[in-house]
Amino acid sequence: MGASARKHDVFQAIADPTRREVLRLLAEKERPISEISAHFPISRTAISKHLQILSEAELVKGEKAGRERIYHLQPEPLTELKQWLSYYEQFWNNKLQKLKYIVEEENE
């Protein structure tokens, strides 16, 4: 599924702090929804909705294992985010270089 066919994009998916925390938990190891839910003060239904959005953005995948679904991280779509951020890094680096120059000039 291409990026244009996704219901939610990576940027929407990671905009929510709960979803970012879900991704962090799944980066450690794959987990069933019951284990993910235990980390949050919200309902299992709410976590299920967050997992749905992360799944639609192709950041997580849930696979049936017996009576449970085990979720695991699919980090590949994060490269889209990394590429987007790396473009803006040049501006940040430029400002740091200017600051370094100004500080060194003042010290001379």
DSSP string, 22-52: HHHHHHH--EEHHHHHTTSSS-HHHHHHHHH
pLDDT tens-digit profile of 65-92?
999 999 999 999 999 888 888 888 888 8
pTM of the predicted protein model: 0.76
* pLDDT band for position 1 (cuts 50, 70, 90): very low
Q: Tell me what pLDDT residue 7 has.
A: 74
Classify 77 as helix, strand or coil. Answer: coil
Q: Tell me what pLDDT residue 24 has.
A: 97
Q: Tell me what pLDDT residue 95 has.
A: 84
Q: Tell me what pLDDT residue 6 has.
A: 59
pLDDT tens-digit profile of 38-58?
999 999 999 999 999 999 999
pLDDT above 70 (res 27) = yes
CB 40 within 8 A of CB 18: yes
In the chain, % of residues over pLDDT 90: 64
Q: Tell me what pLDDT residue 53 has.
A: 96
Strands (E), 1-108: 31-32, 60-65, 68-73
